[in-house]
Amino acid sequence: MKQTTLFAAFAALFLAASSLAQAAPTHITFVTDWKAQAEHGGFYEAQAMGLYAKAGLDVKILEGGPSVNVPQLLAGGAADFGMGSNGFIPLNMVREGVPVRAVMAIFQKDPQVLITHPRGDVKSLAQMKGKPIMIADASTVAFWPWLKAKYKFSDSQIRKYTFNLAPFLVDPKAIQEGYLTSEPYTVEKEGGFKPQVFLLADNGYPGYANMVLVPQKWIDTNPKAVQAFVNATAAGWKAYLYGNPAPANALIKRANPEMTDGLIAQAIGKLKSYKIADAPGGIGEMTDARWKMFFDTMASEGLYPKTLDYKKAYTLKFLPKK
């Protein structure tokens, strides 16, 4: 009788341990593309509101920065999921044979902009043809080829942008690249004037931005975790943009003390007013047609071989439901 009782006790303990093991959350390290900011708000909102935890995930958000290489971390396994700043990143990984795919795109519009001082001779991107434009080195193989293709810009217009606004502020004829939620605000604060802002996406630039990148290994071995992350992230972004962003903002400011309430508030305002994350299918949507348009444009400019299997850069399998 004692043996039977002892066996039953061990069996109960074993079943309890098995149940706990099955309920253990899946750990995911998610690395962002820069220091914590409003442009990452939905991820922090999902964390702060416990949406990842409710989905059975233990998510650690790893802050990016100038020395953080997201593709390298994903390729080496140092991070599980990562943020893709633009469509070039997953396409570059395909070209290099690294099996990583975009599973959702938070930003339907890439927030890349060109900015000028208030001036009468430039009221469109087309009117910038032939004029000097300050862009970063990385941009010469990003949005610049699109500008050359659509507006016949030439490389002779390029001037180096070193992320120092001083040359722009002192030159009323200057044109430079920027990010919708960053440089225009800083120019207003430091220069005392409101710059003209030209959002490339509103002029036909087809790229997605702020994508979630997932290694093929995760897609093959734990698709449920991938889907759970996508769903919770979409819910987090909806709450951040159209609900109460305070929970995420607290985490953002804790991770990056440089973020002020004013900087965060204007960024959220611009994300909403320019409809950066809005899509017919809901937050996170991607389509084959948009990816094809982006790839065809860049391949026609020689950035990729036209034979590249660009569909390996993304999958529509995990898109969040409305």
Q: What is the pLDDT of residue 216?
A: 98
**213 and 273 share one domain:** yes
In a domain, 125, yes or no: yes
- Total number of residues shown for the chain: 322
CA distances from 272 to 104, 108, 109, 276 (A): 19, 12, 11, 7
- pLDDT (0 to 100) of residue 5: 52
The side-by-side arrangement of strands in the sheet containing 112-116 is: 158-160, 133-135, 175-179, 112-116, 196-199
Could you tell me if 250 and 278 are in contact, meaning their C-beta atoms sit under 8 angstroms apart? no
- What pLDDT does 235 receive? 98
Q: Which of 187, 203, 219 represents a domain boundary (last residue)? A: 203
The pLDDT of residue 197: 98
pLDDT digits (tens, 9 = 90+) for 78-122: 999 999 999 999 999 999 999 999 999 999 999 999 999 999 999
| Domain-embedded: residue 196 | yes
Q: Model confidence at 21, in pLDDT bands (50, 70, 90)?
A: very low
What is the mean predicted confidence (pLDDT) over 199-219?
A: 97
Same domain, 126 and 181: yes
Q: Does position 1 have pLDDT exceeding 50, yes or no?
A: no
Residue 55, pLDDT above cutoff 90: yes
Give yes or no: residues 91 and 119 share one domain.
no
**Residue whose pair of structure tokens reads 């217009």 in the numeric block:** 157
Q: pLDDT exceeding 70 applies to what percent of the chain?
A: 93
Question: Can you tell me the mean pLDDT for 160-168?
Answer: 94
pTM: 0.89
DSSP conformation class of 305 = -
Same domain, 35 and 175: no
The CATH number assigned to the domain holding 185 equals: 3.40.190.10
217 lies in the same domain as 181: no
Q: Are 236 and 305 found together in one domain?
A: yes
pLDDT for 252: 98
Query: Is 93 a domain residue?
Result: yes
Say yes or no: 212 and 85 in one domain.
yes
One domain, residues 118 and 199? yes
Is 308 found in the same domain as 290?
A: yes
Choose the final residue of a domain: 158, 180, 203. 203
Kindly state the helix (H) or strand (E) to which residue 211 belongs, with its residue range: strand 209-215
Tokens of 149: 């293709």
Range of the domain at 232: 25-109+207-313
- Within a domain: 9: no
pLDDT tier for residue 66 given thresholds of 50, 70 and 90: confident
Report residue 18's pLDDT band, with 50, 70 and 90 as the boundaries. Answer: very low
294 and 214, same structural domain?
Answer: yes
Last residue of a domain, one of 178, 203, 228: 203
Domain total in the chain: 2
Predicted confidence at residue 67, as pLDDT, reads 86
Structure tokens at 143: 């949005």
**Torsions phi, psi of 180, nearest 5?**
-45, -40
For 231-275, the pLDDT digits (tens) are 999 999 999 999 999 999 999 999 999 999 999 999 999 999 999
Residue 20 lies inside a defined structural domain of this protein: no
Instruction: Verify that 227 and 116 share a domain, yes or no.
Output: no
More confident residue, 15 or 269: 269
Question: Does residue 11 fall inside a structural domain?
Answer: no
| Mean pLDDT on 60-78 | 94
Residues 288 and 304 in one domain: yes
